[in-house]
Amino acid sequence: MDSALNDEDVRDDSAELTTAVSVAGRNTYADGTVVPEDELQFMVSLRRNGQHVCGGSLLPDLRSVITTAHCVHDAHGNRVPVEHLSVAVGIRQRTHILRSHIFAVHQVVVHPSYDKLRIGNDIAVLRLTGSAAGIDNVAGVRLSSVGVEPPVDAPLLTAGWGRTEQRPFASSSKVLLQTTLRMMDREKCRRTLGLNTIPKSQICAASSTSATCEGDGGGLLVDRRNGADYLVGLISYGASGCQRGMPTVFTKVSHYADWIEHVSNGHTEDQATATAGNGFPFFVVLRHNGVHVCGGSLLPDLQSVITTAHCVHDKQYVSYNF
């Protein structure tokens, strides 16, 4: 079983799973309501060392998850080792999860242009060690088509296990909560948050009565139309304090539709990837114009590579971006 699992959060399949929850008073922060069992079945919990850290969405192949790139980096901006990550599928409660609903992560593919300082291209795809097919209350998400963006003021659904109160060190919700936000004009969002720009690869949504919060990152923004849910955004960042009325900025899924399809089909040779497994997990390939030229080894900071000097002395300078 995955070393990232925490026994306090996991139950054997033979154990009874309690699904009844009580949500009242301040636990319904941001007017969140409990997500019914038959809705948002593609929502997953991304876990680090067995603890929930972010949300994500299961892709149609039922063995890949889409989330934000910052969710697979620690507070210092370093990549979290793949072996420390796991994904819980088909759940509503954050704890007491059946072991059969938890998958180790085999590979993490981060967008090659992810900018951790400006939080740009905040998107990643995780490959699981197995398929979620056959697990109750699980389905793959429909992705928004290339170029599609909901109109301003359109109602959109978001959900997560994030903090339920504004006070510091408040605990995350034990049950999956959802709330409705409204699509916000990009310029209005920029002014409200005091930013220089909101690129076309991001969208904003807000509500006067609700907000996303810590622990919701990587989670979904869904456009529910014609009886179907379409993933239009991934929770990226927002104002500090989880303030109601303040916009949340989402990675715009349709902007990356081609990249998501490319990666989902197994084409990761030009991406920033990390793969779990035995053997030599620190070994990397140094490429010049996409062609293998040398080997190297990943250093402990997971951002630097050591190799021989002659490998970077040719007619052109060669760089490697992990």
pLDDT tens, the chain, 322 aa long: 333 334 345 554 433 322 222 222 223 335 578 999 999 999 999 999 999 999 999 999 999 999 999 999 998 889 999 999 999 999 999 888 999 999 999 999 999 999 988 899 999 999 999 999 989 889 999 998 887 899 999 999 999 998 877 666 677 788 999 999 999 999 999 999 999 999 999 999 999 888 888 889 999 999 998 889 999 999 999 887 778 889 999 999 999 999 999 998 776 655 666 666 443 456 665 655 443 456 678 777 777 888 888 677 643 322 222 2
- Pull the structure tokens for residue 276: 């779990």
- Check whether residue 11 and residue 125 sit in a common domain: yes
81: domain CATH number is 2.40.10.10
In a domain, 269, yes or no: no
- Check whether residue 152 and residue 190 sit in a common domain: yes
Q: How far apart are CA 55 and CA 219, in angstroms?
A: 4
The DSSP element (H or E) to which 261 belongs, if any, is helix 257-264
Domain count, the chain: 3
Q: Cβ distance 322 to 284 under 8 Å?
A: yes
In a domain, 275, yes or no: no
In a domain, 271, yes or no: no
- Check whether residue 199 and residue 120 sit in a common domain: no
Contacts of 5 (CB under 8 A, 6+ apart): 50, 86, 99, 102
Helix and strand numbers (H, E) in the chain are: 2, 20
DSSP assignment of 65-92, as one string? EEE-GGGGB-TTSPBPPGGGEEEEES-S
- Check whether residue 16 and residue 137 sit in a common domain: yes
In a domain, 177, yes or no: yes
Domain with 198 in it: 143-250
- Check whether residue 121 and residue 174 sit in a common domain: no
- Check whether residue 68 and residue 137 sit in a common domain: yes
- Check whether residue 148 and residue 214 sit in a common domain: yes
In a domain, 276, yes or no: no
Q: Cβ distance 130 to 105 under 8 Å?
A: no
- Check whether residue 227 and residue 301 sit in a common domain: no
Q: Cβ distance 36 to 42 under 8 Å?
A: no
- Check whether residue 226 and residue 309 sit in a common domain: no
For residue 12, what pLDDT is reported? Answer: 45
Question: pTM for this one?
Answer: 0.76
- Check whether residue 170 and residue 95 sit in a common domain: no
Q: Is 138 helix (H, G, I), strand (E, B) or coil?
A: coil
For residue 147, what pLDDT is reported? Answer: 79
- Pull the structure tokens for residue 249: 């900025």
- Check whether residue 157 and residue 127 sit in a common domain: no
Q: Cβ distance 71 to 56 under 8 Å?
A: yes
Query: pLDDT (tens digit, 9 = 90+) per residue, 98-119?
Result: 999 999 999 999 999 999 888 9
- Check whether residue 241 and residue 301 sit in a common domain: no
In a domain, 272, yes or no: no
